Amino acid sequence: MIMEVNVEKATSELEQYTMGRVEESKEKKVLNVVTSHNTLGKTGYPAGLWLSELTHPYFELADNGIEVDIASPKGGKAPIDPFSDPRSPKSINKDDPVNIRFLNSPDSLEKINNTKHLSAINSEDYDAILFSGGSGAVFDFPDNIDVQNAVRSIWESGKLVSTVCAGGSALLNVKLSNGKNLLEGMIVTGFGNEERKMAHQMVGIEYLPFTLENEMSKRGATFKQTPNEPFVVVSGGGRLITGQQDLSGSALGRKLVEILSMRGEGTAKT
């Protein structure tokens, strides 16, 4: 029996199958955004990223085969809050093995010393965006146009938006194309009033310009929290993932890994 084969059709189907497999095999990618702000308002005290809020989710993602790029509003070397930096005499996290691993890795150290400029980022290259916290974030995230554009673009592409602690300030002023604030109707967590009080006590002065808990609530979000333990909230149909404080970084990273794996592989899957 001789079977006739439509060579042109078969070739086309093979090409489509091959292209699909290539797209599916693409490594998942997350854009981690950190602050560029290095002082506590007008106090002159040093500020910046809270290191574990980058490093803990970073390695949860990287160790599960997810590529992580690091960006900031200004690009270049990101400031690290000395209270969180094991190299600083002021550090309260000197023995954090994850922070030490990050700082001893040439690859990860290069990423934090030469962050990508957020305005140059193409959000189509990423499956999720994550905003790490630290005292600097409350100063340069809320009103930054590049931050707002990145969140809106990722969200309206059906991808994941995540924040940890004060990184939630990135969400405050994000208006969607329909005019609604992204936070409206969401359930979230983040840097609460109690954490704010402890931060002020640590420095010995009130320096934060607003309370994230109150501001999120004003924008129509339901704010939840739990004392002194990791806490992660998933909302927005599984696409908005928020972590309460520095203790929540690893849990947030694991949740991102879980949700990304459930959504398929690669940036082609949105």
pLDDT, the chain, mean? 88
> pLDDT tens, 185-199?
999 999 877 776 776
Domains of the chain: 28-262 (3.40.50.880)
pLDDT at res. 244: 95
Q: How confident is the model over 15-35, as pLDDT tens digits?
A: 554 444 334 446 899 999 999
160-171 per-position pLDDT tens digit:
999 999 999 999
pTM comes to: 0.87
> 207-242 b/e with 16+ CB inside 10 Å = b?
bbeebbbebbeebebebbbeeeebbbbbbbeebbbb
Going by pLDDT thresholds of 50, 70 and 90, the confidence category of residue 1 is: very low
Q: Where are the alpha helices (DSSP H) in the chain?
A: 7-24, 52-62, 97-103, 106-113, 137-140, 145-156, 193-203, 212-218, 249-262
**Cα–Cα distance measured from residue 126 to residue 260, given in angstroms and rounded to the nearest whole number:** 11
For 240-250, what is each residue's pLDDT tens digit?
999 999 999 99
Q: What is the pLDDT of residue 26?
A: 65
